[in-house]
Every structure is written in C-alpha cells, then in structure tokens.
Amino acid sequence: MLQVYNTYSLQKEKFTPQVSGKILMYLCGPTVYNYIHIGNARSAVAFDTIRRYLEWRGYEVNFVSNFTDLGDKVIAQGEKEGLTEQEVADKYAEAFHQDAGQLNVKPATTRPRATEYMAEMVRFVERLIEQGQAYEVDGDVYFSTTKFENYTALSHQKMSELEENAAGRLGDDDQEHKQDPTDFALWKKETRPNVTAWPSPWGPGRPGWHLECSVMNDELLGETIDIHAGGVDLTFPHHTNELAQSESYHHRQFVRYWLHNGFVNVNDEKMSKSLGNFVTIHDLLQTDIDPQGLRFFLTKTHYRRPISYSQDRLDQSQKELDRLYRTYQALERAKASSDGEIISQEVLSRVAELDAAFIQAMDDDFNTENALTVIFDAANFANRLLQEDASLADLKTLQERLQTWLGIFGIENLLPVKGITAEQQDLLDQRQAAREAKDFATSDALRDKLLITGLIVRDSPQGQSWEFVDKSE
Ligand SMILES: [Zn+2]
C-alpha cells in the first residue's frame, strides 16, 4: 500500500488519487533569472523520481511544473545583462531544460509560464474581490487572510505569532495599505518606466507570485489536484497563500497531498547569497563530473531529509554508483558466454524477495534510502552468481532488475561509454606509476585488475592506452 507523508496532516497517509489510476501533480518550478542551483535541482530530481515510481506502479501522471518568468529578480538580471525580461526568461528557461536534461529529469507534461496566464489571473483576482475575500487599495490588491478560516493549517503556525512577525516587517507602503499585517498581495501596481506591466481593472501592474501557481493549477489541472510538491521552504508563505486563494475561490479542497523536499546544505552550511556558496548545476556540469553520478547523489537520500553536499560526499557517492555500473557491465560481459533459458529456483525466489523489498521501500513515502539497500543486495547477489555457473536467463533476470530499479532513480545508462570510472582512473594511475618505477609485476597485476573492470590496457612507447572490452566478446 502506497503511503505518502502529507505536510498538511503531518502524517503518512494512504495514497488514493481522486480518479483511480490517474494523478494530477503540480511542482512549483524555478524563477527563470539565473542558472539553477543544487537546491533547485534536488527538488526537480526528487519529484521526478517520485513521478517515475508512480508511473512504474501503473499510474498515469499529469505532471505540471511552471516557470516564473516575471518579477523583480528577472527585472534585476535583465538590467545586469542588458536584456529584456523576456530575453532573460528565455535564456534561463533554456538553461534549465539543458541542466534538467543532463540530470535525466523527464520533461513535464506541461511547462506553463506565468506570463501566458495574465488574463486568467486578473479574472481570478476580480472574483476574489467580488466574494469579499480581497480588497483594492491604490492600484494594489490584497488577500484578506483573517477572512479565510484556518489560514495557517498547512504551515502549522500560530496566527498570533504570524501577525507579530508580519507587523515587524511591514514597510511604510504596506502599513498604509494592508488591513491586517498578514494580508498578502495578489496584484501589485507597476509604474516604473521600462518595466513590463499588464493591464487590469486596478491599473497597470503585475501579479503576486503566489497567485501564479493557483491560477496555473486551476487552468491546467482543475479545482482539486492530487499532489502539490515543492521545497520545504515554500510551505510558508507560498503554498499557504496558494491554498488560501484557491480554496476561497472554489470553496473546496485544493490539494489532497502536500509533499515537500528537504534542503541542500553546502559544506554543512546553508546555501545563501551572503555566504557566496551557491553551487549551480551549470558550473558542476562544466567539470568532468558524471551527470548520472550527480543524479544518484541527489536521489539516494530520502526526499524529505536534508542533503549535505560537498565534493567529498559526491565523490564517495560516485564510487557507489561505479560499483553498480561494474556489476551491470560484468553481467553484460558474462551474458556473451552463457546460455540456458531456465531461471534457477534460487534466482526466482531471491528476486521475488528483492522485488517485494523494493516496492515496500518505495511505497513507504518513496524511501529511496531503503530502496538503494535493495539495489545493492541485488548487485551483491549478482556478483556471487558471476562467480558461479549461472545461466543466461539468471544473468538477464538480475540485469533487468538493476536496470528497472536504477531507471526509477533516473539512472538509465548503465553502460556509460563516455568515460571511465574514478576507480578505473585510479588503477590506471597506479599502473603508470608502477611502470615508471619499472615494477612490472605490479603493473601486470594491475593490468589484470583493469581487465576485470572492463578495460583492456595496451603499452606502447608512448605510454599506456586503454579501450573498453568489446561487449560482444
Ligand atoms: Zn508555486
């Protein structure tokens, strides 16, 4: 039975979508004003893994994730780069697709941009005003939080504390305009020259960020969706405000399950502008990193737990993935010299156990940590079979399982031909050193070791060279 942790109830709940077999899922996407950092990537990867698992379990997932392509960050970046807001959004939306593609994040079913829904947003705000839930002051429109029952039901804050904190942050303009310090903007007046503004009954302006997601949900998925996902930092105010708007508008439940992913820390510190420790995926992918290794690193921690990123931890994680690559490759090589179409009783029963354990792990709120243990158990079992006289059918069965499970993790290329693993490089370096020291016994032993990992090493007066063992051999 699939259970998911719902931030709204603070509990794991049995998962049942509104319509059997179909899931409406929305993930808050990035503001496209810069390259995505590792925190953005974590969110994209975590919910891509969840989507892949749900699809593998037989659900049809309608997956909508937006781009916020307007607002102060986009304007400021445009000024910095000498680009229009639209050009900034286009540039970084394209960069997102490239980075997410390298991380093997599946394209969303629909990827709306906020600026495509301006008329719908204006209509949404008009109706909230008509219903007495929102009010206009001097070209701005605010949502009246105190008129919405249970405003803090998702964030689990005390309304009184919220009011105190909000009052402390009010600027002069807000002081004058807001009826209550916790009210938030649905529409902001925009009068600056050279800044895009959209027409509205309250004069030129632009929508508040929270409004965008409510309206795009409404237009593309409907009044009630199954899963609303995002980073844990979006719980308040973003998702709290989305919920208040949407439920005021429709008078019915907006989201059945709220799923939030944990933070990414860098070198055990919070990523922040002031610390200057933003790690962008664009920069990381410029290095000789294995993009699947990065994906693996981001996926193997349970999505709700924080991830601590550091180069050391990434390298360590790559070694784990390299072990899985090697097992898969060894199975591939062994298949060439094996036959037999009958799966042994031992493999049948062991694989049935592993199948059940994998599903149990992932059904428990998508516990990739426990699922990975199952994958390593399968790899260890495969390595044992490789020492024995396993049939072709046995080898294929194990290989298929590794492929399926790692595929859900978003690791689909298990015979990477682009490069060699860190461990192979290490062995090659050791061998080079041994040859330079004229220690030919060690050098020969390392050559044999490298062959086991799938590399044929040859020597010439220019030094050592290598090639992959031909898979068909
Ligand atoms: Zn959102």
296-311 residue pLDDT tens: 999 999 999 999 999 9
- pLDDT tens digits for range 103-126: 999 999 999 999 999 999 999 999
Q: How far is the CA of 473 from the centre of ligand 1 (A)?
A: 52
Query: What is the per-residue pLDDT for 110?
Result: 98
Q: How far is the CA of 368 from the centre of ligand 1 (A)?
A: 25
In the 8-state DSSP scheme, what is residue 417?
A: -
**Measured between alpha carbons, how far is 179 from 237 in angstroms, rounded to an integer?**
18
Binding site per annotation, positions for ATP? 273
In the 8-state DSSP scheme, what is residue 262?
A: P
**Measured between alpha carbons, how far is 66 from 257 in angstroms, rounded to an integer?**
19
- Tokens representing 323 are 């072990």
Tell me the average pLDDT across 87-91: 98
Q: Strand pairing of 60-65 and 11-14?
A: unpaired
**Measured between alpha carbons, how far is 339 from 342 in angstroms, rounded to an integer?**
9
Q: How far is the CA of 66 from the centre of ligand 1 (A)?
A: 8
Of the chain, the percentage scoring pLDDT greater than 90 comes to 81
In the 8-state DSSP scheme, what is residue 54?
A: H
CA distances 17 to 22, 25, 106, 147, Å, are 7, 10, 21, 30
**Measured between alpha carbons, how far is 409 from 396 in angstroms, rounded to an integer?**
20
**For residue 472, pLDDT beyond 60:** no
| 8 contact partners, CB below 8 Å, separation of at least 6 | 153, 154, 255, 257, 258
Q: How far is the CA of 220 from the centre of ligand 1 (A)?
A: 14
Q: Determine contact, residues 262/307, Cβ cutoff 8 Å.
A: yes
The band of 288, judged by pLDDT with boundaries at 50, 70 and 90, is confident
SS3 for 286-297 is HCCCCHHHHHHH
Please, what is the average pLDDT of the chain?
93
Binding site per annotation, positions for Zn(2+)? 28, 213, 238, 242
Enumerate the H helices of 57-193 as residue ranges: 72-81, 85-102, 118-130, 159-169, 172-177
Amino acid at 444: D
**Measured between alpha carbons, how far is 268 from 306 in angstroms, rounded to an integer?**
10
- pLDDT tens digits for range 242-275: 999 999 999 999 999 999 999 999 998 988 878 8
CA angle 263/114/28 to nearest 5° reads: 20
Q: How far is the CA of 401 from the centre of ligand 1 (A)?
A: 36
Q: How far is the CA of 234 from the centre of ligand 1 (A)?
A: 8
Enumerate the H helices of 103-232 as residue ranges: 118-130, 159-169, 172-177, 209-220
Tell me the average pLDDT across 2-27: 98
Of the chain, the percentage scoring pLDDT greater than 70 comes to 97
**For residue 347, pLDDT beyond 90:** yes
Q: How far is the CA of 210 from the centre of ligand 1 (A)?
A: 6
**Measured between alpha carbons, how far is 54 from 197 in angstroms, rounded to an integer?**
40
Cross-strand bridge partners of residue 459: 464
Where is mean pLDDT largest: 202-216, 335-349, 408-422? 202-216
Question: Looking at per-residue confidence, does 164 or 295 come out higher?
Answer: 295
Query: What is the per-residue pLDDT for 440?
Result: 92
Please give the backbone phi and psi of residue 307, each rounded to the nearest 5 degrees, phi first: -110, 135
Query: What is the per-residue pLDDT for 176?
Result: 77
- Tokens representing 324 are 């899985």
**For residue 99, pLDDT beyond 60:** yes
Q: Within a 10 A sphere around the Cβ of 54, how many other Cβ atoms? A: 23
Cross-strand bridge partners of residue 383: none
Query: What is the per-residue pLDDT for 473?
Result: 36
Query: What is the per-residue pLDDT for 419?
Result: 61
**For residue 416, pLDDT beyond 70:** no
Q: How far is the CA of 242 from the centre of ligand 1 (A)?
A: 7
Q: How far is the CA of 67 from the centre of ligand 1 (A)?
A: 9
Q: Determine contact, residues 424/450, Cβ cutoff 8 Å.
A: yes
- pLDDT tens digits for range 63-75: 999 999 999 999 9
**For residue 292, pLDDT beyond 80:** yes
- pLDDT tens digits for range 22-46: 999 999 999 999 999 999 999 999 9
423: alpha, beta or left, given left = phi > 0 and alpha = psi -120 to 50? Answer: alpha
Residue among 449, 451, 444 nearest 468 (CA): 451
Binding site per annotation, positions? 28, 213, 238, 242, 273
Q: How far is the CA of 46 from the centre of ligand 1 (A)?
A: 16
Query: What is the per-residue pLDDT for 173?
Result: 67
Query: What is the per-residue pLDDT for 471?
Result: 47
Please give the backbone phi and psi of residue 12, each rounded to the nearest 5 degrees, phi first: -80, 135
Q: How far is the CA of 194 from the centre of ligand 1 (A)?
A: 26
Least confident of 152-156, 334-338, 444-448: 334-338
Q: How far is the CA of 231 from the centre of ligand 1 (A)?
A: 10
Please give the backbone phi and psi of residue 446, each rounded to the nearest 5 degrees, phi first: -70, -35
Q: Strand pairing of 307-309 and 264-266?
A: parallel
Map out the domains of the chain with their CATH numbers: 3-261 (3.40.50.620), 311-408 (1.20.120.640), 422-468 (no CATH)
Q: How far is the CA of 233 from the centre of ligand 1 (A)?
A: 11
Query: What is the per-residue pLDDT for 299?
Result: 98
Q: How far is the CA of 225 from the centre of ligand 1 (A)?
A: 13
Q: How far is the CA of 28 from the centre of ligand 1 (A)?
A: 4
**Measured between alpha carbons, how far is 227 from 52 in angstroms, rounded to an integer?**
14
Q: How far is the CA of 110 from the centre of ligand 1 (A)?
A: 14
Query: What is the per-residue pLDDT for 422?
Result: 72
| 218 contact partners, CB below 8 Å, separation of at least 6 | 120, 124, 246, 249, 250
In the 8-state DSSP scheme, what is residue 27?
A: E
